[in-house]
Amino acid sequence: MKRLYLFFLAALLSGLFLACEAKPADAPAATPSPTAAPPASTDDNTKKYSDVVSVPEVLTTYKIDPVEPLGVSVTAEMLAASVINQGNITRIADVLVRAANGEEITIAYIGGSITNGSSASPQQTSCYAYLTTEWWKKSFPDATINYVNAGIGATDSYLGVHRVEKDVLQSNPDLVIVEFSVNDSRAHNKETYESLLRRILSYETNPAVVALFLTQENGSDYQSEHQQVAFKLQVPMISYRNAILPSLNDGSLAWSSVGAPDGTHPNNGGHSVIAYFLTSFFASVQEQIPTMAYEPYEIPSEKLTLCRYTNGTMYDNTNLTATSLDGFAPATISAAQFPNGWTTTSGGTAEFEITGTNIGIVFYGTLDGKSGQFDVYLDGELCTTIDANFVGQWGSYADYRELKKFDEEGTHTIRIQPSANTTGEQFTILAFTVS
């Protein structure tokens, strides 16, 4: 393992990132390539990080080993390929220094079911987020390390940017790992992902952010879009996808060693490998601290997308009162990812007034065959029809529909009612997304 770690460090210091040596073909011309931002180092005319920040001796004399992979042989090539670009690492170095000084540190993870630990057993203590946080606790025993797991199954970065304030930022994080590369797939997800990263980076605690890219057995994911955003923002990128997919494709690594039978979620071995890649990267930043350049992180002002979701929020029955309910009633739907909504089992209508520029609706689709098709009217005009009958799908879960983007903020009326040809009288509104 020591040989692997030294190989990984050498690859970082030389800037030879095997995962992606050029920008994606569809990336904007202004997007730097992975090798355009090598690990921070200094020359005689550059101020060192250690000249500006008081670095605890333990960070310069004590080597921190990463999490051990569980039953999986990770090659040196895989380890090197796990880092697409380390970007600006100053904020991560700041977190390491504070942890070494015994301060209180909050580490948060936001993503989908993989971050939540689906297919790990036991789920709460075998997921990559828990394993990574335990590494911080063991590496810095004098620090108080707080753990926030905001992974919610079947959610993408659209829902992520609308829930990040409540689920992550209210905990005042110092480090946030963002994982939506498997769940993002819709046309607006590049914009919602950039909005999410900018929202986190601009929070008052100045948190460090790491973009984590995962994959399914068939290689399906949204990494090509996400990495363009991360390049622009100079956010470190760790790619489990780039590290393992070549070995999966050539047969030298069996999916069963790292993944569940569903072909999507990592098993315990996969979660441990993800944690290994993350903690290897954090350990490599620790190695660079004595000689790295002092380069304070500044959020790039130029955007890749319109970033219309950066102030996103969610409204449910805890912070929004319906203007009219006929058949619908406030309810707690314990099985849903967002449980505080409004539901009906007999049709009827529900009306709301919402102020915002971009508005969406979150609903609950069910397998029981009782949910039907309901029309959504926005300011008196039919906007969309939602089919909440999920018979034949993989499960009952929260989904959403983006209703409309307006040119400016205003107050709008939303009415939900059964479609003329609905096959069921049941419908559950879980929340409204507003930005």
Q: What is the CATH number of the domain that holds 329?
A: 2.60.120.260
Q: Diameter of the chain by CA atoms?
A: 75
Which residues neighbour 28 within 8 Å (Cβ) at sequence distance 6 or greater? 228, 304
What dihedral angle (degrees, nearest 10) is formed by the CA atoms of 305, 311, 316, 317?
Answer: -160
pLDDT at position 24 over 80? no
Which of 288, 303, 332 lies at the terminal end of a domain, its last residue?
288
Compute the average pLDDT of residues 338-346: 98
Say what the pLDDT of residue 35 is: 34
Please indicate, yes or no, whether residues 99 and 175 belong to a single structural domain of this protein: yes
| pLDDT bracket for residue 325 (50, 70, 90) | very high
Please indicate, yes or no, whether residues 370 and 284 belong to a single structural domain of this protein: no
In a domain, 308, yes or no: no
In a domain, 123, yes or no: yes
Please indicate, yes or no, whether residues 280 and 317 belong to a single structural domain of this protein: no
Say what the pLDDT of residue 85 is: 97
Which residues neighbour 340 within 8 Å (Cβ) at sequence distance 6 or greater? 316, 317, 318, 330, 332, 333, 430, 431
- Structural domain count of the chain: 2
In a domain, 416, yes or no: yes
Report the helix count and the strand count for the chain, using DSSP H and E.
14, 15
In a domain, 361, yes or no: yes
Compute the average pLDDT of residues 407-430: 98
Q: What is the pTM of this model?
A: 0.90
Please indicate, yes or no, whether residues 278 and 350 belong to a single structural domain of this protein: no
- Token pair 């600006």 in the structure block, residue: 88
Compute the average pLDDT of residues 283-292: 96
Please indicate, yes or no, whether residues 125 and 22 belong to a single structural domain of this protein: yes
In a domain, 300, yes or no: no
Please indicate, yes or no, whether residues 344 and 234 belong to a single structural domain of this protein: no
Compute the average pLDDT of residues 205-228: 97
In a domain, 27, yes or no: yes
Say what the pLDDT of residue 5 is: 43
Please indicate, yes or no, whether residues 282 and 379 belong to a single structural domain of this protein: no
Which of 271, 288, 305 lies at the terminal end of a domain, its last residue?
288
Please indicate, yes or no, whether residues 334 and 281 belong to a single structural domain of this protein: no
In a domain, 306, yes or no: no
Compute the average pLDDT of residues 210-237: 97
Q: How far apart are CA 176 and CA 148, in angstroms?
A: 9
Please indicate, yes or no, whether residues 270 and 324 belong to a single structural domain of this protein: no
Please indicate, yes or no, whether residues 264 and 378 belong to a single structural domain of this protein: no
Q: How far is CA 136 from CA 4, 65, 104, 148, 395, in A?
A: 20, 11, 12, 13, 35
Closest among 261, 250, 255 to 240, alpha carbons compared: 255
pLDDT at position 417 over 50? yes
Please indicate, yes or no, whether residues 378 and 250 belong to a single structural domain of this protein: no
Say what the pLDDT of residue 58 is: 87
In a domain, 304, yes or no: no
Per-residue pLDDT tens over the stretch 89-121: 999 999 999 999 999 999 999 999 999 999 999
- CATH number of domain containing 116: 3.40.50.1110
pLDDT at position 7 over 70? no
**Strand partners for 353:** 413
Say what the pLDDT of residue 102 is: 97
Which of 288, 305, 322 lies at the terminal end of a domain, its last residue?
288
Please indicate, yes or no, whether residues 26 and 162 belong to a single structural domain of this protein: yes
pLDDT at position 17 over 50? no
Name the average pLDDT for the chain: 91
pLDDT at position 428 over 50? yes
- 408 lies in which domain range? 313-434
